[in-house]
Amino acid sequence: MDRLPLFDTHAHLDTEEFAADRDSLIREIGESMLGFINPGCDVESSRAALKLAHTYPFVFAAVGLHPEDIGHCRREDLQVIEAWARDERVVAIGEIGLDYYNDEESPHEDQRFYLVEQLKMARRLDLPVIIHDREAHADMMDILLSEGKGVRGVLHCFSGDWAMAETMLEAGWYFGFGGTSTFKNDHGVREILKKMPQDRILFETDSPYMAPVPFRGRRNNPLLTARVAEKAAEVRGIPVETMMAIATKNSKILFPKLKIDEKMV
């Protein structure tokens, strides 16, 4: 079977949900599509992401400290992340950001500290960032437009409104669309997907979370990026393979260290 011109910019294949079939699933992904980026969330998962990226030519790593994991991170971890970020297989700093929903173990002030430090790191290394923003839109925009000024990146699983999208488009940001764009009740994100300039759209799954319809509630995996692309093609009224190639080309532009098959896009 020919591979689809499809790329998943966000999948956590290092997680325990994939313990039983990780290698066979990743091989199937490599035969069916162009690959995926595996972001880390702390030192351990960043190490695991790096290992996957050195095992499979179509798997790329991002390294970073996630806001939900800040509770068990130490300042020295920032130096470990920065050293790993120089690896040729690391295409971004991520997953980093703010989460004011799952914040029992992660005081907001600490989350902001680690976010700002990792934005500075991205600027020093000239790497894009992968941003997680849950119920923290106002602080996120403040930080990205001040301390993050000039840093490039994607707002993964974008959940803001159109006013936020416009502001962040103006500042050069990309937008990650995944399972939520297929959910019956989530009209808002589809409206944004419809209006979004075509050169800022990225596809993602956030596997193992956020499985698209009709797999909602089950384990997600990068092969289901195809469902996201189908929904986007439907919403925007263009052929699905065209939609896939557009989003993959955008991924290559935002993440210059990605080495994916030129002929496909």
Give yes or no for a contact between 12 and 38, defined as CB atoms under 8 angstroms apart. Answer: yes
- The piece of 30-38, 183-191, 203-211, 217-225 that touches Zn ion (CB under 5 A) is 203-211
What is the closest distance, in whole angstroms, from the C-beta atom of residue 155 to Zn ion in the complex? 12
Q: Which of 212, 213, 173 is nearest to 192 (CA)?
A: 173
**What is the size of the binding site for Zn ion (CB under 5 A)?**
2
Phi, psi of 243 (to 5 degrees): -60, -45
- The piece of 89-97, 142-150, 195-203, 236-244 that touches Zn ion (CB under 5 A) is 89-97
What is the closest distance, in whole angstroms, from the C-beta atom of residue 84 to Zn ion in the complex? 18
Handedness of CA 6, 205, 137, 69 (dihedral sign): negative
- The piece of 17-25, 53-61, 74-82, 90-98 that touches Zn ion (CB under 5 A) is 90-98
**Nearest CB to Zn ion, comparing residues 5 and 94:** 94
Longest dimension (CA), the chain: 50
Question: In whole angstroms, what is the distance from residue 130 CA to residue 157 CA?
Answer: 10
**Nearest CB to Zn ion, comparing residues 67 and 148:** 67
**Nearest CB to Zn ion, comparing residues 11 and 119:** 11
What is the closest distance, in whole angstroms, from the C-beta atom of residue 39 to Zn ion in the complex? 6
Residues in the chain: 265
Site string for Zn ion, 206-235 (x = CB under 5 A): x-----------------------------
What is the closest distance, in whole angstroms, from the C-beta atom of residue 67 to Zn ion in the complex? 11
**Nearest CB to Zn ion, comparing residues 14 and 95:** 95
**Nearest CB to Zn ion, comparing residues 245 and 254:** 254
- The piece of 91-99, 102-110, 188-196, 234-242 that touches Zn ion (CB under 5 A) is 91-99
- How far are the Cα atoms of 2, 27, 58, 95, 156 from residue 260, in angstroms, in the given order? 15, 16, 7, 21, 20
What is the closest distance, in whole angstroms, from the C-beta atom of residue 1 to Zn ion in the complex? 28
Give yes or no for a contact between 71 and 40, defined as CB atoms under 8 angstroms apart. Answer: no
**Nearest CB to Zn ion, comparing residues 95 and 133:** 95
- The piece of 1-9, 30-38, 51-59, 94-102 that touches Zn ion (CB under 5 A) is 94-102
**Nearest CB to Zn ion, comparing residues 69 and 265:** 69
Q: Residue 41 carries which DSSP code? A: S
Name residue 93's beta-bridge partners: 63, 129
Which amino acid type is present at position 28? E
The CB-based long-range contact list for 236-245 (8 Å cut-off, 24+ gap) reads 236/193, 236/194, 236/198, 241/4, 241/5, 244/4, 244/5, 244/6, 244/203, 245/5
Beta-carbon neighbour count of residue 188 at 10 Å?
Answer: 14
Residues near Zn ion (CB under 5 A) are 95, 206
